[in-house]
Homo-oligomer: A and B are copies of this chain.
Amino acid sequence: MSEPAVHVLAFDVFGTVVDWRSSIIAEGQSLATAKGLSVDWAKFADAWRAGYGPAMERVRRGELPWTKLDALHRLILDQLLVRFGIEGLGEQEKVRLNRAWHRLRPWPDSVAGLERLRRRFVVTTLSNGNVALLTEMAKHAGLPWDCILSAELVRHYKPDPEVYRLVPELFDLRPEQVMMVAAHEADLQAAKQLGLRTAFVHRPLEYGPQTPVPSVPAGRFDYVAEDLVDLAARLGSIGRPGPR
C-alpha cells in the first residue's frame, strides 16, 4: 500500500460512540419517578440536543466568551425546565441532571470495537464535550480511550479547523495519518478538508426509531462501517501494532 499508515483514530463521541438520546430519556424517567414529574422525556432529550448547535454558534460568533459544553448544557437546561414546566428541583438536582451527559451509555458495540481498534491504533476522543465530561463518561461507560482530546483544549468548537488540527500537531503526524471517525457527515467533511482520512459509522437510531437517518453516498469517505466492531474489521490491515 502506498498510502502512509494511519496512526491515530479520532472519534466523535455524542451519537457516534454513545447513545445520548436513550440515556437522557432514562435519566429523565428516573428523576420523574423520584420527584413525581410528568414529562415527555423523548421530546425533552431532543430539545436539549437541539439547543446544542445554536449555543455553540453563540460562542463561535463571539456573543459568548469561551464556554465549556457543561455550561452550555446548563444554559439550555435552565430554559427547558421552564418550557417543560418542571418545577421543584433544587440546585444539586439540576447539577446532577446536567451531568447526565457525563453518564451517557455506549452503543452495544462501542466498548468491544474500541478494544479491538486500540490494539493497532491510538484511539482518542475528538469531541465538543469538555475534558471532564469525556473523562467521566469514559470511566462510567468503560470506554478504553488512549487519550482524551476535546474542543475545550483549543477553545474552538467543531467544525472549526483548530479542533481537527490538534491531533496531527500533538502526535507529529501528517494529516493523512489521522482518521476522523463519526456518524455525522459535516464533522467528516470538515476533517477531510484538512486532509484527515475519514470513516463514517452508521447510527440509524441516534435520533430515535421514528427519525430516519439519511444514507451516505458511496465514495464520499474512506470507510463506511455498520458499527465500531465492523470498523475494526475493515481497518484491520492498515494500522501498525505497538508504538512507533
Q: What is the distance, in angstroms, from A75's C-beta to the closest C-beta of chain B?
A: 15
Whether A146 pairs with B135 at a CB distance below 8 angstroms is yes
For A148, what are the chain B residues with a Cβ–Cβ distance below 8 Å? Answer: 146-148
Q: Which residues of B contact A130 (CB under 8 A)?
A: 170
- What is the chain B residue whose CB lies nearest that of A95? B244
Task: Report the minimal beta-carbon distance from A234 to chain B, rounded to whole angstroms.
Answer: 22
Within 8 A of B (CB), among A168-206: 170-172
Is A99 engaged at the interface, CB distance under 8 Å to the other chain?
yes
Number of contact residues on A: which range applies? 20 to 34
Output the nearest chain B residue to A138 by Cβ-Cβ distance: B146
A115 at the interface (CB under 8 A from B): no
Structural contact, B170 and A136, CB atoms closer than 8 A: no
Question: Which chain A residues (144-174) contact chain B, with CB distance < 8 Å?
Answer: 146-149, 152-153, 170-172
A27 within 8 A of B: no
**When chains A and B are docked, how far (Å) is the Cα of A177 from the Cα of B131?**
17
Residue of B nearest to A119 (CB): B139
**8 Å CB contacts to B: which residues of A78-121?**
99, 102-103, 118
Q: Are B99 and A244 in contact (CB under 8 A)?
A: yes
- Is the CB of A243 closer than 8 A to any CB of chain B? yes
A interface with B by C-beta (< 8 Å)? 70, 99, 102-103, 118, 122, 124, 130-132, 134-136, 138-140, 146-149, 152-153, 170-172, 242-244
